[in-house]
Structure 1
Amino acid sequence: MVRLTVHLIAKSSSFSKFKHIKIPFNILGDLSMCRNLTVLYLYDNQISQICNLGFTSNLTHLYMQNNNISCIENLSSLHKLSKLFLGGNSITVVEGLDELKSLKELHVEGQKLPRGEKLVFDPRSISSLSETLCILNISKNNIDEIWDLAPLRKLTHLYATDNQLQDIQELETVFSQWSQLRLLDLNRNPACYKSKYRDRLITACKILEDLDGKQINELSRQFLINWKASKDAKKKLQDGEDIKEQIPNQLTTDFRVGPQHPFAHDRSSSLSKPSEYRKHGVISRADQVQGDSRGRRDIYSSEDRQTLKICVLGLF
């Protein structure tokens, strides 16, 4: 049986016209003759390095899952690439995607990671993909947080099953920024087993249609959104009342303080020298209290009124 290689394919007169090629070999060969390639299948091989793709500038789909790739590299010339499949390799860092300005789908699920490690994301690549990436598959990668993915605001589909996500507050915060998210699969994450998990994510994702493989009924979504709005309004009202109760009435406090208060001095001395309160056009404390009290007598106790009466009479 003849083994199919790039060299053998190159002998074909129509080689340069091929748009779809599946090449089953261990080391990625020279594809300089494949200038018209749009789809390249290289999955289920033993490829350890991404290379020799510089001439495939028209490539839109690249399938390289289930190989031995440990580093995402040499993809900068693939400006038209829209779908990249790298699942089942040995990648530890999602990087090297800075120049892929047309990438809409990225599949990096099920990486063969060292024990105890998780798949991490290079901020530069995530930032570059923020305006184009719509579908992301990061399942089975021991991921325990997704803050680094927050810039991906164009995402419509996220597959993140079999990871270690458990902070629902974090999930709500990130997902609420993805206004176009329609499908979300978080099955078999610790967060899935927490109280109100489904309700909280449905209210956070305004147009989500499918959560963990279950369709979201629009009537149920609206009920949950209204319920959350009502709950937030009640909490806001309660918080406002609590703050109001904590603020003391300044006038009432003035009459109930100890010896530091001006009226706590010898009363007879104050009554015998009313002129001291009026010299140089200064308005006395009693005058001020008297004026303030005309429309607010209901806030004083009988003891407060008696004290006020004595002070005012003494000044006149």
Structure 2
Amino acid sequence: MNERQKRIFFLKKRNTLKLPAAMVRLTVDLIGRSNKGLKSSRNVSIQHYLKKLTHLNFSNRNIDDIDDISICRNLTVLYLYDNQITRICNLNFASNLKHLYLQNNKITHIENLSCLQQLSKLFLGGNSITLVEGLEQLRELKELHIQGQRLPPGEKLLFDPRTVCSLSGSLCVLNINNNNIDEILDLTVLNKLTHLYAADNQLADIQELETVFSQWPQLQRMDLCGNPVCHKPKYRDRLITICTRLEELDGKGITEMSRQFLINWKASKDARKRITDGRKTTGQITYPFSADFRLGPQHSFAYNSAGFLGKRKPLWTGRPTIKMRSGAMRTDCGGVRRMENHEEPLKKKISVLFRFGTDI
């Protein structure tokens, strides 16, 4: 192999190697050099342009750190998703920021956001956050997307009670998909929620869900697909009756007719239960029905399940006999009505026994 062939081989091999991309720091200079709007406006200085900038998109640019960009004080939307950012910093200046996109980075803690008083949408999905915290001052936050955190094995996403309580008056949309969550009782106070996305977690207690959802009267859309609770009997029916404004559950719409039917069914069931409980409280004993009308509750046959509610064959299928009371009216073959005394045959029987003694 001559020198020329060796050089060609080396160049081909170098082109096939994937070298790690260099980390990038978000700076004012980078913003100025990357913005096409500034290049087209030759008469505008970079400082003047950055002061008026409202939307900044630096997604998927391999950024690992945020420098001082406080000159962009009018920012309302900042896109920094799909980068290598490890820490939220240098955003205290952005008091006008409303939407912040930080999903798919390497963030481990929620911090340095207390000055974002106007923030209404926060996207933090696909990071390495283990605790939802540091949002106590975000009184205007309406949407929190924190799905798919890269958690250590066996751990789940946790919520700081102080943060949850502070968000109870504003949060409407919560996305906690795929975070190994097995309970949501801590979220009960979020009574303004209209959308909940909690798919692919470990929620299994339907009674707990009913307790929580009963405190969310405005809930309209909910996704719980991929949770063990989805396999519980009457799972869908029970949640629809609890969430009276729910329009969509697990991607399937809910018609007003089906909702009303389930609500009426539950009301009827609860009414029957109250009646039964009331009888037990007042001491009234209810017995199962018997198909044989002659058997009262004191008769042992009345408790046979074969006669319960008449669903099976009656206990007695013969012809009922009529026992005449003492002194009952009877008609003989000649059509003459007379009183029959049933005590006379008994008296005759007793007298015969006394007459013959024990021989009979």
Q: Tell me which of the two structures has the higher relative contact order, counting C-alpha pairs closer than 8 angstroms and 6 or more residues apart.
A: 1
Partner of 1:240: 278
Name the aligned partner's letter for residue 103 of structure 2. Q
Partner of 1:268: none
Q: Does 1:7 align with 2:42?
A: no
Residue identity matched to 2:99: H
Map residues 1-316 of structure 1 onto 2, 5 A cutoff: 5-8=26-29, 9-10=31-32, 12=46, 13-23=48-58, 24=61, 25-245=63-283
User: Which has a greater percent of helix?
Assistant: 1
Give distance in 2, aligned partners of 1:84 and 1:76.
Answer: 13
Output the amino acid matched with 1:17: K
In the TM superposition, residue 224 of structure 1 has moved relative to its aligned partner by: 0.5
Q: Give the drift of 1:103.
A: 0.3
- Distance in structure 1 (CA, Å) of the matches to 2:260 and 2:26: 57
Matched-pair identity in %: 64
3-state secondary structure, aligned to 1:223? helix
CA apart distance, 1:28: 1.3
Matching residue of 2:325: none
Measure how far apart 1:196 and its partner are: 0.2
Tell me the SS of whatever aligns to 2:144: strand
Counterpart-to-counterpart distance in 1, 2:102 and 2:208: 32
* CA displacement 1:127-185 (0-9 Å, x = unmatched): 00000000000000000000000000000000000000010001011001101000010
Amino acid aligned to 1:73: E
Scaled by the length of structure 2, what TM-score is found? Answer: 0.66
Q: Which one has the largest radius of gyration?
A: 2
- Deviation, 1:10, is 4.6
The one-letter code matched in structure 2 to 1:7 is V
Taking the aligned partners of 2:84 and 2:143, their CA distance within structure 1 comes to 23
TM-score (norm 1): 0.75
Shift of 1:56: 0.9
Secondary structure of the 1:62 match is strand
SS of the residue corresponding to residue 226 of structure 1 reads helix
Distance 1:246 1:180 in 2: 41
Contact 1:163 1:189 in 2 (8 A): yes
Following superposition, the deviation at residue 246 of structure 1 comes to 7.0
Contact 1:66 1:86 in 2 (8 A): yes
3-state SS, counterpart of residue 65 of structure 2: coil
Q: Give, as a single letter, the amino acid of the residue that structure 2 aligns with 1:172.
A: E
Deviations 1:255-309 (A, max 9, x none): xxxxxxxxxxxxxxxxxxxxxxxxxxxxxxxxxxxxxxxxxxxxxxxxxxxxxxx
Aligned AA (2:56): I
Q: Following TM superposition, where does structure 1 have runs of at least 4 consecutive aligned residues deviating by more than 4 angstroms?
A: none
Q: Is residue 45–residue 66 contact of structure 1 (8 Å, CA) maintained in 2?
A: yes
Q: CA deviation at 1:5?
A: 4.2
Matches of 1:179 and 1:246, distance apart in 2 = 38
| Offset at residue 6 of structure 1 (A) | 2.1
Q: Is the 8 A contact 2:120 2:142 kept in 1?
A: yes
Between stretches 197-206 and 17-26, larger displacement belongs to 17-26
Partner of 2:317: none
Query: Are the aligned partners of 1:10 and 1:33 in contact in 2 as well (CA < 8 Å)?
Result: no
Alignment partner, residue 285 of structure 1: none
- Give distance in 1, aligned partners of 2:282 and 2:77: 67
Q: Distance in 2 between matches of 1:64 and 1:5?
A: 14
Segments of structure 1 that go 5 or more residues without pairing to the other structure are: 248-316
> Bigger shift: 126-135 or 234-243?
234-243
Q: How many residues end up aligned between the 2 structures?
A: 245
Give the letter for the 1:148 counterpart: D
